[in-house]
Structure 1
Amino acid sequence: MDVIRWLLESDPGVRWQVMRDLQGAPDDEVAAERARVAVEGFGARLLDLQTDDGYWGGEAYGIDGDRRSVMWTLQSLRRLGVDPDAAAVRTAIDRVRAGVRFSEADGGRPFFDGEVEACVNGGVLAASAYFGVLGDGADAMVAELLDGQLDDGGWNCEPIEESVRSSFDSTLCVLEGLLAYEQVVGEAAAPAVREARLRGEEYLLERNLFRRRSTGGIVLERYENFIFPPYWVYDVLRALDHFRAAGIADGTPPDPRIGPAVDLLLSHRRDDGRWSAGEPWNGEVFFRLDAPAGEPSPFNTLRALRVLDWAGRA
């Protein structure tokens, strides 16, 4: 089948990224398609669900895995690639800045100042950078993240005094946030930020993005369960997509140590050239963004194809 044509029949959040990453379409055509994310399809539906007080679902983060919250809605909008300068987006972000705070148990800070866990602050930092609201709160989050980096190079959502071993989940959340911060701040970012990111990436590379250093076996079987949106959950496709973005930003070629992860990704390719949706993670959602589990997934197929193209394995 014509996989690209099939992808272009999907949501605007898929189409514009296909045009940019897989077709090399002219910038003005890509921008025009991207502009549709805020006014139709999944992006518009999510924006319409915000209440006047700035919240989605009445929660900053979400209780007991509930994904109907500010945290996960902004993550979804970012991964859809909504134009951060679109009028509806600016209105939504202004509402969040004016009205949303984390609970007192999580620090009680304004949303874009983050809370107390590294994995959460990685996601908040990524959103702050993407939506153009970096400030003193973001600088404080970066300082906390750098202070919380463990000796093995990664991060864990458990306090540093309680954990000496990093988590793949937490580490990738932080890496995505640091990269987004660097991309916006540019040369003004302290060298320590990039150094911390590279150390964190090395933690994953030493393990081929999914293996135990001790045995070489897969750390958790769920790392092969590719879901969209990924929320805080680690999987190999999400990790490869990060390394692609980091490599493009840094101007560096793919590290050979991603090879086994690319092989694993290819092993999940369907006979028709597409990738299936994974089993969705627990938690209530406003509506499903991806296909049902086991059905062809536009989001997974898009991400897999651009990773393979970058890795020279297309």
Structure 2
Amino acid sequence: MPAAGARRRPGFRVSEERRSLPRMAVEPQVLEWLLDSDPALRWQVERDVAGAPPEVWQATRARVPTEGFGAALLARQDPDGQWAGGAFFPGGTAFFDTAEAKEPGQPWVATTWSLRDLREWGVDAAVLGDTAERIAAHSRWEYDDMPYWGGEVDVCINSYTLASGAWLGADVSRLVEWFPAHRLADGGWNCEAEEGDSVRSSFHSTLNAARGILAYERITGDTSMREARHGGEEYLLSRRLMFRASTGEVVGDFVTRFVHPNRHRYSALYALDHFRDVSLLEGTPPDPRLAEAVEVVRDARQPDGTWLQTAPLPGRTWFDVDAAEGEASRWLTLSGTRVLEWWDAATGR
């Protein structure tokens, strides 16, 4: 299915706009290619790569709800505030009795995933009006019919709910208590721990938890979970973002398979983008233990300065937002470029 929205604004001339932007390490043709994108991506390129002044990227960000991906996803919201009629899966518990439930992967169209996309694309919460209240009234988790904003038992699901609830102004106080209480002894989190299947932290779960807490902290200013977040980040740093504690081997090929949208999937690039965010928020330098992961990201950069999409995660989507497998990805190139520029500037490379 084609991506929503045109790639280029009518009358837009990239080279003319670039004259007003500072010179950056990214190649000019890559910057022009990145800027020729949906507003959801373009404003981040302007802010993080092109060095545009706030009034420029904020104006682009303001277009997200009315153009391209943002407008298309907002148009698919149900009257009751949900997307696809369910919290994590379409149609709530009825999903499990459908043919779609037997298809490869899971659908990425229900409320949790849609809210996460809109938030990360930069949509102003005010655009969604009383969505938080409508979801509170009508949406229940497929697991035990639990109230939406209270979360459920899965770490990753709770991390998205924590961040999206903070963004929309919902009451997520239960989750603020939940995350510190559910850390494992080694410092991180694991979705399988709640079922008694694991006592060791997961790279995927721990990064998602840390990202959710960081988003909550940035939105609300509440730092009560910072110690817990730092513990999860230390778990990842102690393994240099890639390695098993027991054998020193790379934990899995997912570490070097960069994909967008990543959904719940961990990668060295996704983790480094988080640690960059932490560094910028807290005013701290990059941890030296990130060095090997940085070189993995650098090695994946193509001669033309882009990063390639790997196999997208299977499952139904509303529409495509990035390149097909094997093609240059604007989203991955944005992340890779800003990670390397952050690292190289801080380390004097």
Q: Is TM more than 0.5 here?
A: yes
Verify: 1:80 aligned to 2:121, yes or no: yes
Summarize deviations over 1:278-302 as a string: whole Å, max 9, x none: 2111211111111001101110001
Counterpart amino acid of 1:152?
A: D
User: What letter is aligned with 1:56?
Assistant: W
Per-residue deviation, residues 111-131 of structure 1 (Å, max 9, x unmatched): 2221121221011112122x2
Q: Is the 8 A contact 2:211 2:274 kept in 1?
A: yes
Contact (CA 8 Å) 1:107, 1:116: kept in 2 or not? no
Distance (whole Å) between structure 1 residues aligned to residue 87 and residue 244 of structure 2: 34
Which residue does the alignment assign to 1:22? 49
Corresponding residue number in structure 1 for 2:310: 278
Please tell me whether residue 69 in structure 1 is matched to residue 107 in structure 2: no
Q: Distance in 2 between matches of 1:197 and 1:31?
A: 29
Distance 1:108 1:189 in 2: 30
Q: Which residue of 2 aligns with 1:99?
A: 138
Distance 1:2 1:199 in 2: 41
Q: What's the CA shift for 1:184?
A: 2.5
Q: For residue 152 of structure 1, what is the aligned residue in structure 2?
A: 186
Please list the CA deviations of residues 264-286 of structure 1 after superposition, one character each: whole Å capped at 9, or x if unmatched. Answer: 00111111100111211121111
Q: Does 1:116 align with 2:171?
A: no
Percent sequence identity is 43
Counterpart of 2:200 (choices 165, 181, 189) is 165
Q: Which residue of 1 aligns with 2:177?
A: 143
- For 1:217 and 1:201, how far apart are their aligned partners in 2? 19
- Superposed displacement of residue 41, structure 1: 0.7
In the alignment, is residue 183 of structure 1 matched against residue 210 of structure 2? no
Deviations 1:26-56 (A, max 9, x none): 2122111001111111111111111112221
The separation in 2 between residues aligned to 1:283 and 1:134, in whole angstroms, is 29
In structure 2, give the amino acid aligned to 1:80. Answer: W
Q: Distance in 2 between matches of 1:94 and 1:29?
A: 33
Distance (Å, rounded) in 2 between the aligned partners of 1:46 and 1:299? 18
2:217 aligned partner, one-letter code = E
Report if aligned partners of 1:279, 1:293 keep a CA contact under 8 Å in 2: yes
1:182 deviation in Å?
1.6
Q: Structure 1: how far apart are the matches of 2:130 and 2:260?
A: 25
How do 1:129-278 residues align onto structure 2 when only pairs under 5 Å count? 129=166, 131-135=167-171, 138-160=172-194, 161-186=196-221, 188-190=222-224, 193-278=225-310
- Structure 2: stretches of 5+ with no match in the other structure: 1-27, 90-94, 96-100
Judged with a 3 Å threshold, the aligned counterparts in structure 2 of structure 1 residues 55 and 134 are, in CA distance, closer, same or farther, namely closer
* Separation in structure 2 between the aligned mates of residue 76 and residue 227 of structure 1, nearest angstrom: 15
Please tell me whether the aligned partners of residues 141 and 147 of structure 2 are also in contact (alpha carbons under 8 angstroms).
yes
1:12 correspondence with 2:39: yes
Higher mean displacement: 48-57 or 156-165: 156-165
Q: Give me the whole-angstrom Cα distance separating, in 1, the residues matched to 2:309 and 2:74.
A: 24
Aligned residues of 1:102 and 1:115 also touching (Cα < 8 A): yes
Unaligned runs of 5+ in 1: none
**Per-residue CA distance 1:61-116 (angstroms, 9 max, x = gap):** 0265111111111111122222223x3x335445434422212xx24233222112
Structure-2 separation of matches of 1:226 and 1:90 = 34
The normalised TM-score by structure 2 is 0.83
Structure 1 residue aligned with 2:330:
298
Aligned amino acid, residue 100 of structure 1: S
Match of 1:44 among 59, 71, 92: 71
**Candidates 111, 125, 129, aligned match of 1:90:** 129
Distance (whole Å) between structure 1 residues aligned to residue 147 and residue 65 of structure 2: 25
* TM-score (norm: length of structure 1): 0.91
Q: Is the 8 A contact 1:76 1:229 kept in 2?
A: no
Larger radius of gyration: 2
